[in-house]
Structure 1
Amino acid sequence: MRHFNVPSLTADFPMAAGSIDQHHHWRAHLRRSYRLLSSMPFAIALLCVLALASVIGTVVPQHAPAAQYLADFGPLWASIFALLQLHAIYSAWWFMLILAFLTLSTALCVLRNAPKFIAGMRRYQEHIRISSLKAMPWHVHAQHSHPEPPQQLATQWAQQLQNAGWRVRLQERRSKHTGTQDVFTGWLVAAKRGTGHRWGYIASHSAIVLIGLGGLIDSDFWLRMQAQWSNIAPAASFEALMQTPQAHRLSGNTLAYRGNVLVREGTRASDAIVQTANGYWLQPLPFEIELRQFQREQYATGAAKMFTSVVRIHDQDHAQADDGLIAVNAPLHTHGLSIYQSGFGDSGSPVQLQPVPLIASSHNAPATNPQPLLPAPLHAKVGQQLEMPSPAEARLEIVGIEEAAIQDVRQVDLTAVNSARPALGSSMLYRIRDAAGQAVEFQNYTHAITLDDGVPVYLFGARTAAQEAMVFWRLPQDADGGLQDFVRLLHAMQNPAMRAAAAAHYAQGDLPHAPLATQTQLAQSSQQVLDLFVSAWPTTPQVAPASTSAHAATGLEILSQFIETHVPTHEQTQAANMMRRVLTNTLLELLQQARALAHLPARDPQSPQTQAFMQAAVASLNDMVLYPATVFYTLRNFTPVYTSVLLVSKAPGRYLVYPGCVLLVVGLFIMLFVRERRLWVWIHALPTQANMDTHQVTIAMSSNRPQRENSREFTALTTLLLGTQRTFDS
């Protein structure tokens, strides 16, 4: 034999050896990466991270203005939210990346394990060791007398199991060759039932893949990629988008998007405003939406009943127009898009406002020459800014009317018909901004409500910061159903001559038979009470955006301080009660004089309605110094012109998400309610000739769930096969 020396390739070609090692190294890395991605623990970890992120997205308001995060959470957390995109978490890049890896991991897990599950469902496990049957959770070992040989007995029992709904396979067991023939050993009946529960695992995991793919398809990732490829920058704000719309317009081939369409009654719109974490874009629609009419219905209590937009859809070539209705929870589906009723707003509705100055036009006007009660009304539109005559350089900004202000109808409870809250009617929201740019926001209701004291009052709210709650000033309604008596009393209080005349008239009426000196002393005391009460009132028009008036002393506080200073301690309570009675009665005399100057009949001083009005008027006059303006506006007339806010959604991924949800429910149902059971029956004859009719039988069963039903079922099976109920070891 000759030996040949074969040269070593690795010795002659060291570069080739290095390449081979590197190739094996990368293959090992790929195998490890594949095992990691297709492992169930990795998918569960990603699912937990997504669940945690969803909790954050539920707690943190999404797509709110940056100023709201700054006010609610502070500068530090607001910057963290902006850095991690927690204000738009469901479109954040890291959220989409985790969702993509979860979808990929679950898909690989299904591809890796589904063949094993299917093969396991098809197997009967008839090759199981006989000795392992005794280790089953449910088993019984007994001798059974039967005239038939083991083969016929096994066939008979297999037929009985099939009739009971089991799938059965028979197997004959023989020992190894001994000489020229086989030695017969026995028969094994292998049965299975409920193996389809593994389809639950496949269905539920496939559902996660479908839902994940649908979420990725419907995300704004494709919109941002299109904008990046087309070099279209987003607008930083809605105002910037409206100023230069063409610079932020996308193409009409965007795969998926969700945007708002604002359509005024009688006009058309063909672009949707898409808001993402990066800014605003204009998305062209494949049609034009014409808002023919916006319908808003309410119950008698003022609760919302129905919001409906009557629209007409025009094709781009204007060849066809289809009419449709869009209501809450009743979207319109057309051209592959879904159109929802998202909200409604005001489109510059004309309003008529009545200014009500709190400071009289002339403090020292003679009592016999009254000034007009109210100035001429103002005509304006919602959203308009007006220059105010006083205070200097102040502006009136009409924000909206409650019935037509921008509202999200998805947050309106359409079922709240019988509400315990009184119907406040419509309200007007406006701001007064001073020369320095500081503003006070007001909300005035148009209808009076009756509170606990039984006196109908009008509510006039004010706040100096957007994050604060409205603080309401209550003004009593007079017998004529308005505010005229209160305004007359307010203006008369600022006239020294009228205060003196009211005090003198009150003294004469309260002490008609007293000496003149006593009446004069009471009149002077009454006038002093009125003078002290109005001493803290402003005398020039002003706005207090910094809430400086909140620390001013009210009229009753000034009177209380006067009593504490000039009256002994043991007489202060009696003096306070007497001063309150004098104040109320003197104010009633002042109101009667003001009505007489307006040529109106006097109010009945003994009427319970008049007395209740005066008690409420004293409290309202006392709180006037806390109101942050010296004028308020009431709504006299309002003609609503609506803008419908429609949500347009293009979501092709829903055709994967909806089947995925159904598949997930079916998969979970199968996993929870389908039990897999495996049954083995081992039959073999005893070796002695004397017991040819006696067979040794071993029956065992396993299940994927340890339930009581398995014990009852196994007992029923042993009774069916052996003919008598047997106890078993478990």
Structure 2
Amino acid sequence: MSNNDQAATAGPAPASRQKAARKPRRTRIIVDFMGSMSLAITLLVALAIASVIGTVLVQNEPYTEYLMDFGPFWHEVFAGMGLYQVYSATWFLLVVAFLVVSTSFCVYRQSPGLLKDLRRYNLQVKEKSLRSFHSSATGDLDQPQEEFAQHAHRVLKAQGFRAREKTSEGQTVIAAMRGRWNRMGYLLTHVGIVVICVGALADGTTLLKLNEWLGNLEIETRSVPISEVPRSAWVPEWNPSFRGSVEIPEGASANVVFLPVREGYYVQELPFRIELEEFRIERFSTGAEQSYESDLVIHDPDRDEPLRHTISVNHPLIYDGYAIYQASFADGGTKLDIDAIPLGAEALQELEVPGRVFQEMDVPTPDGGNRTVEFINFRSENVVPLLNEEGVREDRQLGPSFDFRLIDRTGQGLYYRNYMRPALQEGAMYFLSGVRETPADEFNYLFLPADSDDSLERFRTYLAMLHNPEVRNAIAQQVARDDDTVPDEQSEAIARTTAELMGLFAEGGYGAVHEEIERRVPAERIDEVRDLMIRILHAGLQGLYMEVLQDEGVVSIQEEEQRFLEDAISAINAISLYQSPFFFHLKDFEHREASGLQIARAPGQSTVYAGSTMLIIGIFLLFYVSYQRLWIMARRREDGEGTHVVMAGTSNRHKVEFEERFAHLKRWIIDQKPVGSDPQREDSHNKNT
């Protein structure tokens, strides 16, 4: 070969060979990274943070609830991060998937060595290396080498060690191990994490997200009847895992469940129909719910007869892989018999309003228009904090109530809650009506005084007479004539002023009266005139009240009647803020309950349980089982009369305990305790001590 040929041969390798040489190295880098402890810890920390968020922040609530709780800005931030459905968020599922891959790589890398450790006794040791152990001992015995080896095997077996022996060139090496299943703890722990994550992915919403990404599913955001939900929002029975809810009224049934998804929902089909025969609820003496249960009937085409079962809180029904939980309760469409008592001046005739919860109806208003009443909810029991006669706030049972919204032509309206029976407040009885602008606000209450029969008849009569111009004029003239301090020539003017003030008060309360005074009277005389006008107004209101009492046959005004007048004046003054032409009084109702069911299908549940069991066993083996190794080297002494022994050992856990065990083993094996001693019994005694 020429020099040029040699130079060519010794030159750089071809590019293809260099690429082939680098490829395994890159693969190993990827494997090392995916199986690294740092990546696994990072993923576990991410899952821990997500679990904390999912525990602290209530999941799968309607977006309107979150909007009211956090405001528009933080609501958008949290929604964008998927914090309202943490366990089904894309990033959470990706973290779980990466954890599965990372842990699987770790198991792939470590399993061969761990399995080999279970069988490898390592009989190829040197005396010098044994002497370097922290736990080591030497000794010279008069006992022959073979007899010593037999004695050592007996002691090791009594102490729970598994031993192997090798003799070569006149030297005997005994290798023993105890607690080798500690090495399996590492494997079981990691495999358990993988199994748990696989079960979590099986119970996740990956399949739904994939179909949504492909355009097979579209989220429905409208609150419409089930018959109007488009088929693009329906999830067929093939969906392997889900968790949703449905409310079923008594006597009704359903074969679907609603899956909350971000700002809307999907409709999940069920292979069977659930009927609610009866819903029962028990309450404490305070009216709070104690327990509730539902009598269900499962209609399945695959069954010859329907299945009847009663569920309650924490006692679900598991049917064909579907878990049916008693989650909540609601109104199922209670029928309401309502009187609409007019509060305005244009009409004095009350209306009968037959309503039903979750329905709407139009009510003609006194001004000739219409208002839409949306009946929202009904509660048969209500506990409200009210003031007693001593002025102390205490919880009172107010009985039935119904919630509704009164909507005007522009689609705007306030929310109301009216109670059926009057309540005792500071020694008097009142009919209560709460009003608020949004469901997130607190109620402001209108108190309408009840008469001695616990009815609104006296107040209705007084209000109707106050809104009648002819009655106002007649009362005003009578009050002016009966007032001895008013000259005859001023009587007519005082009567007109009294009637006008009463009309203003009927329309807008004290606010309307004050505005009229400020409009007509110079600023420097407003305070003087205001006091005079209020006295004249009260005289007219008092005279009108006396007319009401005379019609009832009441001769004299007692303290109770006088307080009723004060309460009636306060209520009429607040009507202008009430913003409703009617007071809706509930006369009767036909209650209908609805049971709130949560239905879940989790095929990965058993997988998660299996993984959890593996994880628990693995952690137990890692923390409570110590992997102990022991080596004994025996050879003939140099004088040829006995045996020279070197013993060493190590443990991966419980170092102090192993040091004590090693000291006992040294006494039994090297120091040769007297014949008849039992190392197993003594070891047990030492443990108990």
TM-score by length of 2: 0.76
1:500 Cα shift? 9.5
1:687 Cα shift? 4.5
| 1:402 equivalent in alignment to 2:378 | yes
1:45 Cα shift? 1.5
Matches of 1:319 and 1:327, distance apart in 2: 26
Partners of 2:235 and 2:269 within 8 A in 1: yes
Partners of 2:362 and 2:373 within 8 A in 1: no
Could you say which residue in structure 2 is the equivalent of 1:544?
none
Task: Assess, with a 3 A threshold, how the Cα gap between structure 1 residues 567 and 440 changes in structure 2: closer, same or farther.
Answer: closer
SS at match of 1:377: strand
Matches of 2:487 and 2:630, distance apart in 1: 114
Kindly report the root-mean-square deviation, in angstroms, between the aligned alpha carbons of the 2 structures.
Answer: 5.1
One-letter code aligned to 2:507: P
Task: Assess, with a 3 A threshold, how the Cα gap between structure 1 residues 699 and 216 changes in structure 2: closer, same or farther.
Answer: closer
| 1:432 equivalent in alignment to 2:406 | yes
| 1:52 equivalent in alignment to 2:49 | yes
One-letter code aligned to 1:166: G
Could you say which residue in structure 2 is the equivalent of 1:442?
416
SS at match of 1:308: strand
| 1:388 equivalent in alignment to 2:363 | yes
Give the total of aligned pairs. 653
Could you say which residue in structure 1 is the equivalent of 2:550?
596
Could you say which residue in structure 2 is the equivalent of 1:546?
none
Could you say which residue in structure 1 is the equivalent of 2:615?
664
1:695 Cα shift? 6.1
Matches of 2:357 and 2:87, distance apart in 1: 35
Spell out the pairing of 1:249-268 with structure 2 (5 A cutoff).
249-268=234-253
| 1:467 equivalent in alignment to 2:421 | no
1:82 Cα shift? 4.9
Task: Assess, with a 3 A threshold, how the Cα gap between structure 1 residues 150 and 331 changes in structure 2: closer, same or farther.
Answer: same
Matches of 2:501 and 2:26, distance apart in 1: 90
| Aligned mate of 1:167, from 161, 173, 178 | 161
Partners of 2:195 and 2:607 within 8 A in 1: yes
Task: Assess, with a 3 A threshold, how the Cα gap between structure 1 residues 278 and 242 changes in structure 2: closer, same or farther.
Answer: farther
| Structure 1 unaligned regions, length at least 5 | 175-181, 363-370, 406-419, 510-514, 540-548, 570-574, 726-730
Task: Assess, with a 3 A threshold, how the Cα gap between structure 1 residues 616 and 516 changes in structure 2: closer, same or farther.
Answer: closer
Could you say which residue in structure 1 is the equivalent of 2:195?
210
| 1:331 equivalent in alignment to 2:316 | yes
Matches of 1:61 and 1:482, distance apart in 2: 44
Matches of 2:535 and 2:661, distance apart in 1: 90
Deviations 1:417-450 (A, max 9, x none): xxx8443433211111112221111112334445
Matches of 1:17 and 1:701, distance apart in 2: 51
Could you say which residue in structure 1 is the equivalent of 2:587?
636
1:534 Cα shift? 8.6
| 1:92 equivalent in alignment to 2:89 | yes
SS at match of 2:186: helix
1:130 Cα shift? 4.2
TM-score by length of 1: 0.73
SS at match of 1:348: coil
Partners of 1:507 and 1:519 within 8 A in 2: no
| 1:321 equivalent in alignment to 2:306 | yes
Spell out the pairing of 1:293-332 with structure 2 (5 A cutoff).
293-316=278-301, 319-332=304-317
Matches of 2:424 and 2:131, distance apart in 1: 83
Matches of 2:514 and 2:183, distance apart in 1: 80
| 1:111 equivalent in alignment to 2:108 | yes
| Further displaced range: 165-174 or 436-445 | 165-174
Partners of 2:60 and 2:84 within 8 A in 1: yes
Deviations 1:240-276 (A, max 9, x none): 8642544444443332233444544434433333343
1:623 Cα shift? 4.2
Matches of 1:440 and 1:591, distance apart in 2: 32
Could you say which residue in structure 1 is the equivalent of 2:558?
605
Matches of 2:479 and 2:144, distance apart in 1: 126
1:401 Cα shift? 2.9
| Structure 2 unaligned regions, length at least 5 | 382-393, 675-681, 683-689
Partners of 1:387 and 1:393 within 8 A in 2: no
1:593 Cα shift? 3.8
Spell out the pairing of 1:261-300 with structure 2 (5 A cutoff).
261-277=246-262, 280-300=265-285
SS at match of 2:397: coil
One-letter code aligned to 2:98: F
Matches of 2:99 and 2:167, distance apart in 1: 48
| 1:201 equivalent in alignment to 2:186 | yes
Matches of 2:524 and 2:145, distance apart in 1: 118
Matches of 1:662 and 1:499, distance apart in 2: 84
SS at match of 2:418: strand
1:221 Cα shift? 1.9
Partners of 1:392 and 1:435 within 8 A in 2: no
Matches of 1:719 and 1:508, distance apart in 2: 125
One-letter code aligned to 2:618: G
